[in-house]
Amino acid sequence: MPKILFIGDVVAEPGRRTLATVLPQLRDEHEPDFVVVNGENAAGGMGINPKTADEIFELGVDAITLGNHTYRHREIYSYLDGGKPIIRCANQHESNPGRGHVIVENGVGLRLGVINLIGQFGLDHEGNPWDCADRILRQIEKDCDLILVDMHAELTSEKVTTGWYLDGRRPSSAPTRTCRPPTPAYCQVEPPTSPTSE
């Protein structure tokens, strides 16, 4: 069974340094097919910039997801439209720089679709994340072997709801942005869906 290593939320220089230190060990131990990192706070603890994004990609990361601090540093705007596998939240306004999903392929031809969503409570969003997920899934599911959804939300309940909403479908749901991850007892869903948390 393919493995995805999802790491979130890399915060500032200590987080980037830790990622550089532990990622080789995690690769050796778990042999993931893909590595996805939430990097929305990689630059100075809030936002991301091209330098910190490149630093993360140089570690062999396949894709970077973001969150509500995506646009903190203006220099990231053109970078998000530059074709690298770094994605903003899909249910932010479509005129914003960047895109909300990406498909990456590993060395053996396995294709991973990554979707980034943002919750509705207390965060800037444009539209329902679940309607957005449906639209993107219809668009990419035939082109992917695996799909990962990063649900970036304040409320545990929005993350749990996302897991339930995607239950029985192909995505794995990876909630980010919380000090209190969803309790596993509330996240019981049927394969092939598998909710995880940072």
Phi first, then psi, for residue 29 (nearest 5°) are: -75, -40
Looking at residue 83, its amino acid is G
The answer to whether 103 touches 112, Cβ cutoff 8 Å, is yes
Helix axis angle, 12-30 relative to 50-57, nearest 10°?
20
Catalytic residue (one of 69, 73, 125, 152): 69
Q: What is the DSSP string of 45-92?
A: TSS--HHHHHHHHTTT-SEEE--TTTTSSTTHHHHHTTTSSEE--TTS
Nearest to 16 by CA among 39, 46, 36: 39
Instruction: Walk along the chain (198 residues) and give the pLDDT tens digit of each residue.
Output: 889 999 988 999 999 999 999 999 999 999 999 999 999 999 999 999 999 999 999 999 999 999 989 899 999 999 999 999 999 999 988 899 999 999 999 999 999 999 999 886 656 667 889 999 999 999 998 999 999 999 888 778 888 888 888 877 765 655 554 444 444 444 444 445 554 444
Residue 193, phi then psi, degrees to nearest 5 = -80, 140
Please report where in the chains the tokens 């330098």 appear, as a residue: 51
- Which residue's entry shows tokens 């996805």? 36
Q: Whole-structure pTM over 0.85, yes or no? A: yes
Structural domains in the chain plus CATH codes: 4-187 (3.60.21.10)
Known catalytic residue at 69:
yes
Q: What is the pLDDT of residue 74?
A: 96
